[in-house]
Amino acid sequence: VTLDGGGGTIVPALIELHAHLREPGQEEKEDLASGLAAAAAGGYGTVVSMPNTSPVVDDPAIVRQLAEKAARLGFARLRPAAALTKGQQGKELAELALLKDAGAAMFTDDGRTNEDARVLRLGLEYASSLDMVVSVHAEDATLRADGVMHEGEVSEALGLPGNPAEAESARVARDIEIARLTKARLHVQHLSTARALDLVRRAKADGVPITCEVCPHHLTLTHEHLRGFDAQYKVAPPLRTSEDAAALLRGLSDGTVDAVGTDHAPHTSSEKERDLLTAPFGIPSIEVAFPLMYTRFADTLGLQKLVDLFTSGAARVMGWDAPTLEPGAPADLTILDLDTERAVEPSTFRSKAKFSPWAGEVLRGWPTLTLVAGRVAFQRGA
Ligand code: DOR
Ligand code: ZN
Ligand code: ZN
């Protein structure tokens, strides 16, 4: 298409099913205005925000406040996820029906790893009766312990406490069995290991109603990046081996992975400049996710598949209708410039997190225009 002299490729506006926007309570890291503007600049028309805020989003009034505020801003649409358990303490289920009525898009205790099996079973049964999906940050807290990076030869060489691959696969195995038992829709967030991915592949073959997502950082970075002791690379689950990253890419190709989610996790620069032991976990990526994935993997996956992972795949996970560009549909669309090369320049980010592990990397596939409900939510250069 050509618009006002600029060309591009029109796709449905991207759907982000996993972002930490930090409001309420941690606005020094991010807020709705900065996070949703950043999302629109990344080509996203819709964002599912995580509830590990302060206070936790376990109260219908907070869901309503977030949705109302986001609607006034006019950037990407916000669909808040609500906590599965009160205070994300993993003990007592939140008021899921009231949270759904208030507009919650899904339930999750992401950021915590502490739902016990009984609570997850009850939560899945309750959410399923409401036709809602539960998503899990699948890491066994006791195996993960105080690990700050992947447990392996690099953590041993650096003398840093490790978080083993088995902390993920053990929890994914458990959660698959609970999904099998309850027949309820379970979504596994940010898979990082070949072993856990394989468990999901087999569960899907068995007909367990499970979906999963993979993040750009687990596909493009590895534990080798921690050798410089730079806490920018500290994230949970941690960056793994190149074999894990290759396995995740195969999972995108063969349909095991349903969607790409960013796990956009903004923190302040001073927090991320601390040492590896004390810096917080998380990598911000909402403004670079599509161009990064396009530049690195369009040859392997093809444009159609890549766009599906950022749009219909994410919609399927959420139980939403597939986005469409049919006449009469709400104009949620993004124009991508697949040709122009541009380096990642964190100082220009709309996000408050103005740093990036991909800073300086030259990428293609940058969004130039994002329309949300027919209104311009982002226009490059404007
Ligand atoms: O790296 C992470 N950052 N993993 C999480 O589970 C939470 C997230 C955050 O909230 O910063
Ligand atoms: Zn998580
Ligand atoms: Zn997360």
Residue 12 CA, ligand 3 centroid: distance in Å? 24
Which residues make Cβ contacts (< 8 Å) with residue 72, sequence separation at least 6?
Answer: none
19 lines ligand 1 (CB under 6 A): no
Catalytic one among 258, 263, 308, 337?
Answer: 263
Dihedral sign, CA of 113, 117, 119, 120? positive
Decide if 263 is catalytic. Answer: yes
The dihedral over CA atoms of 153, 297, 341, 45, expressed in degrees to the nearest 10, equals -110
3-state secondary structure of 217: helix
Residue 279 has pLDDT above 70, yes or no: yes
d(CA 279, CA 124): 33
Is the distance from the beta carbon of residue 143 to the nearest atom of ligand 1 less than 6 Å?
Answer: no
Q: What residues does 203 pair with on adjacent strands?
A: none
Provide the residues around ligand 3 (an ion) whose CB is within 5 A: 110, 263
User: What is the residue-averaged pLDDT of the chain?
Assistant: 96
Write down the residue that tokens 């406490």 correspond to. Answer: 161
Given pLDDT bands bounded at 50, 70 and 90, which one contains residue 93?
very high
pLDDT digits (tens, 9 = 90+) for 210-247: 999 999 999 999 999 999 999 999 999 999 999 999 99
* Closest by Cα among 146, 203, 149 to 172: 203
Whether 155 has a pLDDT exceeding 90, the answer reads yes
CB 66 within 8 A of CB 32: yes
**Residue 7: its pLDDT value, please?**
75
Nearest alpha-carbon partner for 114 in 130, 98, 92, 97: 92
d(CA 292, CA 360): 12
Residue 77 backbone dihedrals phi, psi, to 5 degrees? -70, 145
Instruction: Name beta bridge partners: 2.
Output: 7
Average pLDDT for 35-64? 98
User: Ligand 2 centroid to 325 CA: how many Å?
Assistant: 32
The Cα 41–Cα 379 span in angstroms is 8
Q: What tens digit of pLDDT does each residue of 96-153 get? A: 999 999 999 999 999 988 889 999 999 999 999 999 999 999 999 999 999 999 999 9
Tokens standing for residue 267: 């923190």
- Spell out the residues 6+ positions from residue 249 whose beta carbon is closer than 8 angstroms to its own: 219, 297, 300
Tell whether the torsion through CA atoms of 100, 102, 106 and 110 is positive or negative.
negative
The amino acid at 125: E
> What mean pLDDT comes out for the span 269-293?
98
